[in-house]
Amino acid sequence: MGDQSGRTAVVTGGNAGIGFETARMLAGRGARVVLACRDRAGAVAAANRIVSAIPNADVTTVHLDLASLASVREAASELGAMNSEIDVLINNGGVMELPYERTPDGFELTLATNHLGHFALTGLLLDRLLARPRSRIVTVSSEGHARGVIDFEDLQSENAYKPAEAYYQSKLANLMFTYELDRRLRAAGVETIALACHPGIVLTNLYRTRSRFERALLSPRLRFLNSRFVQSPQAGALPTLRAATDPSAEGGDFYGPPGRGYTGDPVRVESSSRSHDEEAQRRLWHESERLTDVTYSI
C-alpha cells in the first residue's frame, strides 16, 4: 500500500475487528480517516488507540447506526459537512446471525444493517465521492455470499427466519449492489468505481452469537491447528485495503484470499453465479430505493 496522504477514507464499523485494522493501516500511511460507528464511546476509544500508536494520525469519528435510516441520514449530513470530497467509502460495518429483530424502520435487522444502511449511506454521499477523481466505494461481503439467496417474496424474513440464511442473503446483496452500482457508474461516464471484498474467516465480534466451543476453535490460541482456516484481523483487512488502494484495481473487482477463500494474501476472486444475475441486481436496486427512499444521482 503506497502513500495515502491527501486521501480521505470513511470506514463504517471502524472501531473493531477488520474495520479497525483497515482504519489503522490507512491512517498509518497518511490518510485522513473517519470512523463511522454505532458505538460512540468505542469509536472514540478506537481513534485514541490509533493516534497513540501513530502520533500524526488524522482520525475523527461520526455516529452511525446502519440499522436506522434516520441515523444514516444524520451521519451522511455530518460527513458531507466535514468533507467536500471523499476518496474512499468503505462499507465495512455489519452484524451476523442475530435473533430475529425489527429495526425502527420495520426492516429485518441483518438486511437493514448489512445492506440497506450501506445502500442509503452510499447514495447520500455519492456527490462527495463523485467530486473526487478515481474515488472508490468498497463494500465488504463474505465468502458465505455463495450460500445466499435473495428471497424477493420474503425479503424481510417474515415467514421463516433463519439467522445464517439472513446473513448469507445480506452478503449476497452486498455483491449485487456493488456490481449494479459499478455498472451505473460506468454508464454515467464518471471516474468513481465500486468494488467488493471478503476477509476470509476472521474471529471478530461478529461471532459473538456462536457457541463458546466454536469461538474457541477459531481462537488465536489454537493457531497451530487453525492457521489454514482462520486469519488474524490484520490479515483479514488486507482484501479491503487492496480494493481501496491498489492502483491496478478496477470497478467490479472482488478481492479475497485465494483458493478456498479462507486465508492468504488477497487476490482477485470470482463470486457466485447468483451474484452476477443482472435482472436480480436491478430488482434489488429498485427495491432498495423504495425501502430506503434514497435515489442515486446518476
- For the chain, domains (ranges, CATH) are 8-207+233-290 (3.40.50.720)
**Residue 230: what pLDDT?**
73
**Residue 88: what pLDDT?**
98
Q: Over 70: is that where the pLDDT of 211 sits? A: no
- Residue found by looking up cell 447514495 in the block: 123
Position with higher pLDDT, 245 vs 221: 245
**How do residues 43-52 score in pLDDT, each as one tens digit?**
999 999 999 9
Based on the residue annotation, tell me whether 167 is a catalytic residue of this protein: yes
**Does an H or E element contain 182, and which?**
helix 163-188
pTM: 0.92
Angle between helices 17-28 and 238-245 (to 10 degrees): 50
Beta-carbon contacts of 274 under 8 Å, excluding residues fewer than 6 positions away, are 146, 148, 149, 150, 172, 280
C-alpha cell read off for 26: 490507512
**How do residues 125-158 score in pLDDT, each as one tens digit?**
999 999 999 999 999 999 999 999 999 999 999 9
Q: Which member of 100, 161, 167, 168 is catalytic?
A: 167
**How do residues 181-204 score in pLDDT, each as one tens digit?**
999 999 999 999 999 999 988 765
By percentage, how much of the chain surpasses pLDDT 70?
90
Question: What span, in angstroms and rounded, lies between the C-alpha atoms of 80 and 164?
Answer: 35
**Residue 298: what pLDDT?**
85
**Residue 224: what pLDDT?**
44
**How do residues 86-96 score in pLDDT, each as one tens digit?**
999 999 999 99
- Taking CA 269 as the corner, what is the angle to CA 267 and CA 273, rounded to the nearest 5 degrees? 175
**Residue 219: what pLDDT?**
55
**How do residues 244-277 score in pLDDT, each as one tens digit?**
999 999 999 999 999 766 888 999 999 999 999 9
**Residue 213: what pLDDT?**
47
Mean pLDDT, residues 230-235 taken together: 86
